[in-house]
Structure 1
Amino acid sequence: MKLNYVISDSIQSALNEIIETAYRSIPNQFVPVYYVNQLIGSVSASCFSHMKELFNQDDNDFSFIQINNDSILLSTSSSYDLSLELRILAEFLRSKGVFSHWRNEQFSFLREDAHEIFRLERAAFRGFGLMSTAVHINGFTRDGSIWLATRSDSKSVDPGLIDNMTAGGINAIETVQSCAERELWEEAGVVSNQLNNLFPAGLIEVRRFLPPHEIHHEKIFTFDLFVDENWTPINHDGEVQSFQKHGIEEVIDFILSEKMTQDAAVVTADFILRNLKI
């Protein structure tokens, strides 16, 4: 269903700029992380210093992680063995206060063919600058209104900011579709018969520096969910404090006034631009 929004050229340009600048460069002082010959992440100078401290200990027993003068190299091994060594390293860095927002949730780092190279604590993905994956779902009605969520004030990341109706990271045992369905139920109370109106919309890659130590690098699978005008989302997991249904003008104001999370702003801007009247 195309909504045929009408907005000015200047607003279109502003929304396009938000999307085009969502993937940003890494600070020069960050140290690259390679898997064999592939650049997969980067760590801050302070994080790298702590890593060298661990690897200089006589009793370190790392077989698949190598620390050089100016880089970190992960070697080919089984996912289990490399995951184990990375977990030991991540726990050490956590003890040094480098990694924040520890979740006790595993994410997978995948090859291009979707095979798992390793899995690691979610918080360590940002600490190592690794690309994670997530789903974001735009909930909308026939008249073009968009459902948005206000994040709980207890959230460790972006508390109280406006978010997409549903959004969440894809953990190590999920597919894109199963994550979308789980998040829709947990965050918005979407039931199975509503999933017939859930459609994949695209893929957006974002990357930005999060001071002082982290890189947020994520591949976002976007979905659109058409909902009945009389339906209201109901949160089940405590991560949303409220839902609001807004017209297009209000939503654009939220995006441009930076009241939304940066990822949600990009996803929502993309939704609006895909639904412009031609």
Structure 2
Amino acid sequence: MPSLLPPSLVAVIPRCLQLASQPVPGGLLPLRLGDVTIGRVHPLRQVLLGEVWPELQRRDGALCWEAEGLDVQARSQRIGEVALALKERGAITGWRGERYACERPVDDPCTGRGEVLFRLERAAFRFFGLMSRAVHINGFLPGARLVCGRRALSKATDPGKLDNLAAGGLTADEDLVDCARRELLEEAGVPLTISAAVQARGALRSTRMEPEGLHDEVLHVFSLQLPGGFSPRNGDGEVSEFLTLDLETLAQRLAAGEFSHDAAAVSAFGLQHSHALADLRA
């Protein structure tokens, strides 16, 4: 743990990481594409799924979709139709008109990527318990200070919670660094001349149950050194304000649960590794 961290921050880091990566509860039904488990669905959703997805079969305690013979486009079309039917019935909310990629599982999705099996509206991923990806950027100002945004009250998830400098879901076929720089520009007004210095800092997997279903997401962590005097400015309406926090204040707000689970975990993850020394001393 970097020696620059105050004891109060060191103490809260394990809890932040634990809250983001919770055990997947038992009792969820595996969702399989052929023999490959791609998601997990609450058993109470079986009846509704049977109404909108008649070819889905219950076998050996799992929900099986025999679609190996379809190509990516055809799979995307079919499961997209199912998701739309669920949206019309009020089972999927917060529709964004953006698609994520569902990947073939790999041993460690934090270090590797699987082939794309289909592309689907992002709001449907939790309903089916599919794994998604997101980028989060820790922004540092001189003097070991982090710049954090407060999520707008209009956000579908975690409204009003504190967040990282910028964060967002990785849309299908988008490059990670391109996504990070896009989010920095849209959410915090960071020009491309500054965001060109963004640094990849690893990844962690976030899992927990939410009202929409299983949240399963790989969080790709980046850091960015901001010039002294830089003032972030939101451009997409998703951030209500920005706060600049010294490490003691950050520890207090993390301990009080003011951050979203994922943003807290990213802050903790970014500060517990060796590269944090360089980030904090800038």
Secondary structure of 1:208's aligned partner = strand
Structure 1 residues 45 and 114, CA gap change in structure 2 (3 angstroms): closer
In the TM superposition, 1:130-209 aligns within 5 A as: 130-209=130-209
Q: Which residue of 1 aligns with 2:62?
A: 71
In the TM superposition, 1:1-278 aligns within 5 A as: 4-8=3-7, 11-55=9-53, 62=55, 65-68=56-59, 70-74=61-65, 75-76=67-68, 77-111=70-104, 112=106, 113-211=113-211, 213-274=212-273, 275=276
The 8 Å contact of residues 33 and 40 in structure 1, kept in 2 or not, is answered as yes
Kindly state the Cα deviation for residue 215 of structure 1 after the two structures are TM-superposed.
Answer: 0.9
Secondary structure of 2:13's aligned partner = helix
Rounded Cα–Cα distance in structure 1 between residues aligned with 2:2 and 2:143:
8
The 8 Å contact of residues 9 and 248 in structure 2, kept in 1 or not, is answered as no
Secondary structure of 1:97's aligned partner = coil
The 8 Å contact of residues 106 and 119 in structure 1, kept in 2 or not, is answered as yes
1:143-201 Cα shifts (integer Å, max 9, x gaps) = 10000001111111111110001000011131111111110100011112112421000
Secondary structure of 2:271's aligned partner = helix
Rounded Cα–Cα distance in structure 1 between residues aligned with 2:47 and 2:23:
22
Rounded Cα–Cα distance in structure 1 between residues aligned with 2:58 and 2:88:
19
Rounded Cα–Cα distance in structure 2 between residues aligned with 1:14 and 1:179:
29
Structure 1 runs (4+) greater than 4 angstroms displaced: none
Rounded Cα–Cα distance in structure 2 between residues aligned with 1:100 and 1:68:
28
Q: Which amino acid aligns with 1:44?
A: H
Kindly state the Cα deviation for residue 55 of structure 1 after the two structures are TM-superposed.
Answer: 4.5
The 8 Å contact of residues 166 and 184 in structure 1, kept in 2 or not, is answered as yes
Secondary structure of 1:148's aligned partner = strand
Rounded Cα–Cα distance in structure 2 between residues aligned with 1:54 and 1:201:
42
Q: What is the percentage of aligned positions where both structures have the same residue?
A: 31
Tell me the number of residue pairs that the alignment of Structure 1 and Structure 2 aligns.
267
Kindly state the Cα deviation for residue 69 of structure 1 after the two structures are TM-superposed.
Answer: 6.8
The 8 Å contact of residues 9 and 247 in structure 2, kept in 1 or not, is answered as no
Rounded Cα–Cα distance in structure 2 between residues aligned with 1:14 and 1:36:
42
> Aligned-residue CA RMSD in angstroms?
2.1
Kindly state the Cα deviation for residue 254 of structure 1 after the two structures are TM-superposed.
Answer: 1.3
The 8 Å contact of residues 55 and 67 in structure 1, kept in 2 or not, is answered as no
1:241-260 Cα shifts (integer Å, max 9, x gaps) = 11111100111111111100
Rounded Cα–Cα distance in structure 1 between residues aligned with 2:124 and 2:213:
9
Secondary structure of 1:197's aligned partner = coil
Q: Which runs of 5+ in 2 are unaligned?
A: 107-112
The 8 Å contact of residues 147 and 164 in structure 2, kept in 1 or not, is answered as yes
Kindly state the Cα deviation for residue 106 of structure 1 after the two structures are TM-superposed.
Answer: 0.8
Secondary structure of 2:20's aligned partner = coil
Q: TM-score, normalised by structure 2?
A: 0.88
Q: Name which of structure 1's ranges 65-74 and 123-132 shifts more when overlaid on structure 2.
A: 65-74
Kindly state the Cα deviation for residue 54 of structure 1 after the two structures are TM-superposed.
Answer: 3.3
Q: Which amino acid aligns with 2:164?
A: N
